[in-house]
Structure 1
């Protein structure tokens, strides 16, 4: 017998009492294991020279871009291929065990169930009613007809299970067991060299989500229904749906996998992009009763961590708006509906349950609030939904113009006020971390205002952005990067309670007129956060283009550490020893404050991805990929889980910034209102392929370039894509022809902003399974 796992690794000391039993320690395992993680698919190969059987596991949870319903199924599918490597016929049993830990012990029920083309082990607990957080169900099922179920072991100890498998004459045992653990098994007979597969569906259903703090009058936690509980009544219904649609769910998930991994992006980039998409399938994320997407910052072993779809953390996340844009829009709608005051003050943590109005007893986050304005523009570009834009536009205006109340009270395009931010403290005075986001928000909102016919407002936003740009280039740029001009009185215009919160931090012990937690002459890694957004969304240069390039090079020169052995970090240590990492800040010109903001010496994966992709946008590809490689070299599975980049909790949302690496390397741009797609690859330009996804469809773009001809193709795998123009980085070619599934399409080449624009005579709709092919000579 073998546990279908590789040998135990990591610590062999659990609390001073030995190795523990969390992973079947003490039982025979396969001696060799190889894991290949290509999210949303995981492959595990199990080998053992002393055992006659080898096993290969393919694990998948449905993940299909634009199909947020099927991608939210609370189920995982495990398919084992079992091969007889011996020279004689074998009888093999594959068994899966599941323990009923639902609610209180006295309410737990284990039973065998055969229905709907499935056989399975069903575990449940009704709790004390339909609204009890302790009620729920789990199912381990298989479509294999010859499967058997042992609902409850005689004894909960693994030893007794092991003995029963070895010695029971009647199998499965007929005696009623008392344990909360049961087994689902499949028997097979294999000739020498023969292989067979068995599929297990693991489904769960816990309908009621309890609030982690808020309680009802009776002291019980406030609860609401998980979205999936409105679709399926229990775990068996989930398993039945998954089983019924398994071929389609698996095929469409594999389509996404294949399209993504067919990309010619560097391997380390693909690893970063794909691995962190897994965050969307963890306890960091959930869907509320009406389907609204909600995110913690991360999650601990037993709960969410730092609640509220925190705007200053999710500011960095770029995967959701492209892969599941409807969910991204639901986040924005709910946030502003529940967190915004009449004057535009936005609490950066949305309260729950839905409908709870946020208070004003803590600072609004300047970076998060400006980011949400930019995101409205992004969501409009991705979807082209004018009705949605008009509905949310009044709140967008409020969110932006709130800056004029405290952050930019003199309306000069510069945030001199006190700015709470993602470092969990307040920066006083002008700086480009918040300032660039402000300029990007003004620029994006100006374009939206122009589109909506509000030309005066658009002109005002543009003029403010220009004034802010001039000030920053003249006063903040020091020849290498942008500094902070500390304004010790920045807190004074704010309400008394928020002033007091700020004053309570105390003063710096080197610069005695400064409050604590400033950076002054420091080089901040995400000082160009708004410009990063501007690159992704085509907003242009917010500052002098040479200043931007010099700043990015300075960030890499001063903050990148290929070896952290000599680095001092007294707070949270996320990278150490000979590992590489990007520091959040450094002081290459000296004058580090005595109480610099406390996270300055740390290494955060999400900021590393943000800086890496921005470097790539500016042509510093090698430097950007070096940072990406530094992140992924720390997450190889030896010391850190490759699918768990953490910060304040596991599966930290900021690491979803990794998707921007795909956008940067491919030079992706898109405008649904203009029906325009753009690609300007920065790697493998002569033979390039990449995945793309927008609100109406997803697929692959490819180009092959020789001296005589450039061949371009846009393949839509699911959905549809309507184009009036295709922007390229091609130069010096003018003869162009196009075909859609073999039929000629009229197109001409015109000079675009950064290369040739291929303009179609009339909009071309590429349907699912179709390919638009273009030849440029």
Structure 2
């Protein structure tokens, strides 16, 4: 067993590290959802800038919000009532999986088995509170009431203990990485506030990758007399379940020989494991529910009875006096069945006083199955999450976290305070912080060899579209500024693994990286966008060795454009260009040629830094031609378009359309600090056109046969419109859809160029 280790900070405190990153946080905010508001080249408080722009942009009449709505400062509003229904606040670290905190205070979506797990809710797993006040006894599940419809083959699912009393009201406040649920009930002499988080410290990836959920229940005595309480957590032992199928019953062939071990000491609690599951199996692992509270009551496993004996006996025992049976049995569960264990924390609260009860849920599931690989023959191999290099089991995670909780929580709260105390509109703070949570969901993998990988996103039970998709991750900026070492890992994979001998880049990675390669054409936007990202990452790190190591392959990748896409060297791409819309654009087009121009500028600067002056000179020569030709060939007076040979009759183009992504390359260049390569007046006009033509205040009259992400009275930005006509019979797929990622990209670019209200509207 590895020994428990204390938090070691050499030379500087974690907060000092965070302060060093402050300049990067500025860019992270702008890129992730772009709340900082620019006037010219200066950062300007929103209210001041609003006052300086007393009227909306003359050519942008569609500002559906008042200035008071757009520029109102403050914290994000709490959620109540029906708003709580869909809330799922992820609690977990980078590459660890997550448990989500629901809006009612319940735990939901247990995604700790190395794959997404939407809808996985452990049976009979809940927290409850016993209260003894002035001779009266109360017992409540620490959640607000369940939502309708209360339907099912046998009523509401029994495993969710729907018939047990709950608190009447809940208020949820989510300010990532901190969540808070307030529970109240007019019949009770207490109020309860749950604070939940996982350590989140920019620049410290190790301590931001702990497989844990920190739960702190604050119980306040609302009476003038002393009260007694017991807070009990009950949890089913899941070991044997691999995240596939449903875990809605204690009976399942995968279970058997499950053991709930009670451990007492400075850290006490229940340690869940199984003797049935082999250490090499995907379902192998451990889970723990622990606390440093000393006054405890417990039952290692509920009575194994028939019908509903188990829950009935537990609840009667708990609700009678708050004292459990203190059963410490470690007898394994019978084959085909697992057990529930309960841990209670007892306290006496003086009149008007309060108590904070700390709990951790920690997990350790070391075997990650490659079920997703783009190379089918690689599927089925086993990898291991990065956190397994530090911890042997879930109990060791709990020990480390409790040993260092004060420092880790302090740094997490300092980041939270710095972020949410900024003078930005509340909805901007909410949008930016919530997007940062994606880094710490099953979307992202961090393996034992230090390599970081990511899906495009997640389906309910699987990652979607593996891995490190270059053109999709062009849009993502948060990781590079919050945890730059992980973003640099992606660059190393891009250039040291995925660049073929001819210079083309594989844009989906197979595991193990460098063993087998996906046989598919390169994506122009992904390959060229990665050059811009490399420049950004070098600027963030200042690591000359990083640059020198990657430069030869980056040079090869950039110059591949002259072999395949820009054979005449005029600075514009032509021919077949695969891209993020999962099709090929043909001929001259604003989106991909714009990324190319940004890549040329980035390449020139990288070449100079690497001492390759000849390459830098050549890139700038092509860039100058491209700048001239781009505006001459693709500007129609309002926005930039696509030109292709109509005689080819290619499907899935945009032609004369106003593409929301037309300035993607310019935006990437701005984020990376490369500046503008296009005329600013034309940039502003094109952005204004994108807003006016593509932003819709409702979708009542839009016919969309593609995927639907906005409908009826919702607002959104279409990927493309054809305000001057010329819509192809079969335009590119997704053209009538609304993508949040593109909305954020356009919104930030609007703000870069002074179109503040338009950007905030999006």
TM-score of Structure 1 vs Structure 2, range by shorter chain: 0.7 to 0.9
- The reply to whether residue 109 of structure 1 matches residue 109 of structure 2 is no
Contact 1:409/1:417, CA 8 A, preserved across alignment: no
Contact 1:84/1:191, CA 8 A, preserved across alignment: yes
Distance 1:366 1:19, change over 3 A: farther
Counterpart Cα distance in 1 of 2:169 and 2:607: 61
Quote the offset at 1:357 in angstroms: 2.9
Quote the offset at 1:372 in angstroms: 0.7
Q: How does 1:296-445 map to 2 (within 5 A)?
A: 296-359=455-518, 361-445=519-603
Query: TM-score, with normalisation over the residues of structure 1?
Result: 0.74
Distance 1:481 1:84, change over 3 A: same
Quote the offset at 1:537 in angstroms: 2.5
Quote the offset at 1:128 in angstroms: 4.8
- The reply to whether residue 586 of structure 1 matches residue 721 of structure 2 is yes
1:46 is aligned, of 183, 187, 190, to 183
Q: How does 1:467-506 map to 2 (within 5 A)?
A: 467-487=625-645
- The reply to whether residue 212 of structure 1 matches residue 371 of structure 2 is yes
Contact 2:498/2:514, CA 8 A, preserved across alignment: no
Report what 1:163 is aligned to: 316
- The reply to whether residue 6 of structure 1 matches residue 144 of structure 2 is yes
Report what 2:244 is aligned to: none
Contact 2:709/2:738, CA 8 A, preserved across alignment: yes
Distance 1:460 1:219, change over 3 A: closer
- Deviation string 1:425-477 (CA, Å, 9 cap, x unpaired) is 11111111111111000001101112222221111111111111211111111
1:561 is aligned, of 674, 693, 696, to 696
Contact 1:519/1:596, CA 8 A, preserved across alignment: yes
Quote the offset at 1:192 in angstroms: 2.7
Report what 2:111 is aligned to: none
Quote the offset at 1:566 in angstroms: 2.5
- Deviation string 1:712-739 (CA, Å, 9 cap, x unpaired) is xxxxxxxxxxxxxxxxxxxxxxxxxxxx
Higher mean C-alpha displacement, 155-164 vs 89-98: 155-164
Counterpart Cα distance in 2 of 1:605 and 1:316: 11
Report what 2:325 is aligned to: 172
Contact 1:476/1:485, CA 8 A, preserved across alignment: yes
Distance 1:339 1:194, change over 3 A: same
3-state DSSP of counterpart to 2:626: helix
Quote the offset at 1:407 in angstroms: 1.6
Counterpart Cα distance in 1 of 2:144 and 2:323: 30
More relative contact order, 1 or 2 (CA 8 Å, 6+ apart):
2
Q: How does 1:521-536 map to 2 (within 5 A)?
A: 521-536=656-671
Q: How does 1:599-610 map to 2 (within 5 A)?
A: 599-610=734-745
3-state DSSP of counterpart to 1:453: coil
Quote the offset at 1:338 in angstroms: 2.8
Counterpart Cα distance in 1 of 2:377 and 2:341: 36
3-state DSSP of counterpart to 1:596: coil
Distance 1:318 1:97, change over 3 A: same
Q: How does 1:665-684 map to 2 (within 5 A)?
A: none
3-state DSSP of counterpart to 2:582: coil
Counterpart Cα distance in 1 of 2:378 and 2:495: 29
Report what 2:438 is aligned to: 279
Counterpart Cα distance in 1 of 2:655 and 2:159: 49
Matched residue count: 601
Counterpart Cα distance in 1 of 2:718 and 2:158: 38
Quote the offset at 1:536 in angstroms: 1.7
3-state DSSP of counterpart to 1:312: coil
Report what 1:462 is aligned to: 620
Report what 2:92 is aligned to: none
Distance 1:169 1:555, change over 3 A: closer
Q: How does 1:75-224 map to 2 (within 5 A)?
A: 75-103=212-240, 104-115=254-265, 117-125=266-274, 128-155=277-304, 158-167=311-320, 171-174=324-327, 176=329, 179-213=338-372, 221-224=380-383
Quote the offset at 1:111 in angstroms: 1.0
Structure with bigger strand share is 1
Report what 1:253 is aligned to: 412
Higher mean C-alpha displacement, 537-546 vs 272-281: 537-546
Counterpart Cα distance in 1 of 2:216 and 2:419: 22
3-state DSSP of counterpart to 2:531: helix
Report what 1:550 is aligned to: 685
Higher mean C-alpha displacement, 308-317 vs 95-104: 95-104
Counterpart Cα distance in 2 of 1:458 and 1:451: 9
- Deviation string 1:480-535 (CA, Å, 9 cap, x unpaired) is 11111124xxxxxxxxxxxxxxxxxxxxxxx6732211111111101100100122
Distance 1:168 1:264, change over 3 A: closer
Counterpart Cα distance in 2 of 1:330 and 1:256: 24
Counterpart Cα distance in 2 of 1:582 and 1:15: 38
Distance 1:513 1:367, change over 3 A: same
Report what 1:640 is aligned to: none
Counterpart Cα distance in 2 of 1:163 and 1:370: 65
1:570 is aligned, of 705, 720, 731, to 705
Quote the offset at 1:63 in angstroms: 0.4
1:446 is aligned, of 584, 604, 612, to 604
Quote the offset at 1:22 in angstroms: 7.0
3-state DSSP of counterpart to 1:527: coil
Quote the offset at 1:215 in angstroms: 12
Quote the offset at 1:174 in angstroms: 3.0
Counterpart Cα distance in 2 of 1:128 and 1:41: 35
Contact 1:486/1:514, CA 8 A, preserved across alignment: no
Distance 1:458 1:280, change over 3 A: same
Distance 1:286 1:555, change over 3 A: same
Unaligned 5+ residue runs, structure 1?
Answer: 488-510, 628-777
Report what 1:720 is aligned to: none
Counterpart Cα distance in 2 of 1:479 and 1:142: 66
3-state DSSP of counterpart to 2:445: strand
Higher mean C-alpha displacement, 47-56 vs 212-221: 212-221
Counterpart Cα distance in 1 of 2:323 and 2:641: 77
Counterpart Cα distance in 2 of 1:443 and 1:201: 49
- Deviation string 1:267-316 (CA, Å, 9 cap, x unpaired) is 22111111111111111112011122111111222222211111111110
Contact 1:150/1:182, CA 8 A, preserved across alignment: yes
3-state DSSP of counterpart to 1:550: helix
3-state DSSP of counterpart to 2:213: strand
Higher mean C-alpha displacement, 370-379 vs 571-580: 571-580
3-state DSSP of counterpart to 1:265: coil
Distance 1:219 1:151, change over 3 A: farther
Distance 1:88 1:522, change over 3 A: same
Quote the offset at 1:132 in angstroms: 2.0
For the aligned residue pairs, the C-alpha RMSD in angstroms reads: 2.3
Quote the offset at 1:88 in angstroms: 3.6
Counterpart Cα distance in 2 of 1:237 and 1:485: 61
Report what 2:652 is aligned to: 517
Higher mean C-alpha displacement, 426-435 vs 159-168: 159-168
Higher mean C-alpha displacement, 408-417 vs 518-527: 408-417
3-state DSSP of counterpart to 1:236: helix
Unaligned 5+ residue runs, structure 2?
Answer: 1-138, 241-253
